[in-house]
Structure 1
Amino acid sequence: MLDSNDLSLHGLTLKQLANAEQLETILEQDTATVSAHLEAAVGAGYAMAARGAYMITPAGREHLDATYPIAFADQRTNPELVATLADFEQGINKQMLALMTSWQTVTVDGTQQPNDHSDADYDAKVVDKLARLHERAESVLAPFVGADPLTKRFVSRLDGALQQVDRGDHDYVSNVRLDSYHTVWYQMHEHLLRMMGEERDE
C-alpha cells in the first residue's frame, strides 16, 4: 500500500488541481496531514502550489510510477483483481459512459442535442438506470473493496452521491463542480488503473 506521503501525492492524480480539504474527502486523511504532505511534496519538486491549491509535477508522476509497482504488488499479482478490472473495463464502465451520455444528451429527430432536463420522465428513467447500475457496481467491485481501503471509500462516496440524486438533487448525477456520481466514478476509475498498472481505454 502507499505510505501516507505518497497517498496524498496520489490524490493529485485523481483530482488534478486540489486543496487539502478536497483531498481529505477523497483520501479520508485529515486536512493537516494532507497539507503537511503536500508541502513536503512541493519541497521535493513532486508538486507545485498556487493560491492554496496543488498540482502534481512530472517529477511527482515519475516518483509515483516507480512507487506503484511496489506499493500495489499484492493487488497486481492477484488473479481475481486482474480479472475483475478486465470485466469492469469491458462491462460496467462502458455502461456508465453510455448512461452519462444519455443524461447529458437527448436524441431529437435522429440528432443528439444537449439535454436541457425539461423532460422529467426522461431524466427519471436515466436516474433509475443509474440506481440499477450502482447495485451492479457494488457487486462487481466487491473484490477491490475487500483488498483496497481507498476503493471501499470510493464506493461509499458513490453511494452518497446517489443518495443526493434520490433526494432530488440531480446535479449530483454529473456536475463536475460537485462530488457527483460521475466525478467520483472518474476518480475511482483512475485509481483502479493506477493501482493495477493499466492505461485508460476511453
Structure 2
Amino acid sequence: MLDDYELTVHTLTLRQLGSGEQLAEVNGLPAADVDVALDKAVADGFVIAARGNFMLTPAGRQFLDSVYPRAFAEIRSNGEISAAMDAFETGVNKQILALTTDWQTVDVDGQRVSNDHGDAAYDEKILDKLGRVLDKTQKVLRPLVSADPLVDRFLDRAGAALTRAEGGETDYVSGVRVDSVHTVWFQMHEHILRLTGRERPE
C-alpha cells in the first residue's frame, strides 16, 4: 500500500486542487502529516503550491505511475476484487450516475428541465434511492474495503453528504463546491480505478 507521502501525492489525483486541510479530509491523514508531505513533494518537484493550494505536476504523475504497480500488486492480482469492480461498474456506478441526472432534472411534458427542488416528494424519492444504492455499494465493494480502508472512508463521506441532503441542503447531492455525494463518489471511483489499474469507462 501507499505510505503517507505517496498517499498525499496520490490524493491530488482525486482532488486536483486543494489545501493541505482539504486533502487531509479526503485521505484521512492528520493535517500536520499532510503538510509535511506536501512540503517534501514541492521540493521534489511532484507538486506545485499556489496561494495555499496544491496541484500535481507531470513529474508527480510519473512518480505515481512508478509507485502504483508495487503498492497495489496484491489488489490487482486479486480475483475477488476484480469481480467486485466489474459489479461496481455495471451496477451501482451506473445507478448513481442515473440518479444524479434525475436529481438535477425533471421531466416536464416529455422534456428534461432543471430541477428547482420545489417538489419535495420527487426529491425524497431520489434521496431514498440514493441511500439504497449506497447501502448496496458497501456490499459490492466489500473486498476492496477489506483491502483498503480508504474505500470505506469514501463511503462514509458519501453517506454523510446524503444525510445533509436529507436535511434540506440540496447541494450535497451533486454540488461541485461541496463534498456532495457526486463529488465524493467521483473521488472514490478515481481511487479504486487507480488501485486496480483500470481505466475510467467511457
Q: Tell me, what secondary structure is at the counterpart of 2:54?
A: strand
Amino acid at match of 1:192: I
Letter matched to residue 191 of structure 1: H
Paired position in structure 2 for 1:105: 105
State the partner residue of 1:142. 142
Shift of 1:145: 0.9
The offset of 1:77, in angstroms, is: 0.5
Give the distance between the partners of 2:168 and 2:112, measured in 1 at CA: 25
Counterparts of 2:92 and 2:82 in 1: how far apart (Å)? 15
Conserved? CA contact 2:134–2:155, under 8 Å:
no
Give per-residue Cα distances to partners, 1:59-110, cap 9 Å, x unaligned: 1011101110100001000100011001101111011110000001112222
Partner of 1:165: 165
Could you tell me the TM-score, scaled by structure 1's length?
0.96
* Partner in structure 1 of residue 115 of structure 2: 115
Superposition deviation, residue 28 in structure 1: 0.9
Matching residue of 1:125: 125
User: Which residue number corresponds to residue 55 of structure 2?
Assistant: 55
Distance of 1:33 and 1:45 partners within structure 2: 18
Question: Aligned partners of 2:30 and 2:135: how far apart in 1?
Answer: 30
CA RMSD between the two structures? 1.1
**1:25 maps onto 2:38 in alignment:** no
CA distance in 1 between counterparts of 2:151 and 2:77 reads: 17
- Give the match's secondary structure for 2:106: strand
TM-score of the superposition, structure 2-length normalised? 0.96
Matched with 2:151 is 151
Residue 168 of structure 1 and its aligned partner are, at CA, apart by 2.7
Query: 5+ unaligned residues in a row in structure 2: which ranges?
Result: none
Q: Quick one: which amino acid aligns to residue 11 of structure 2? A: G
> Identity across aligned pairs (percent)?
52
Where do 5+ consecutive residues of structure 1 fail to align? none
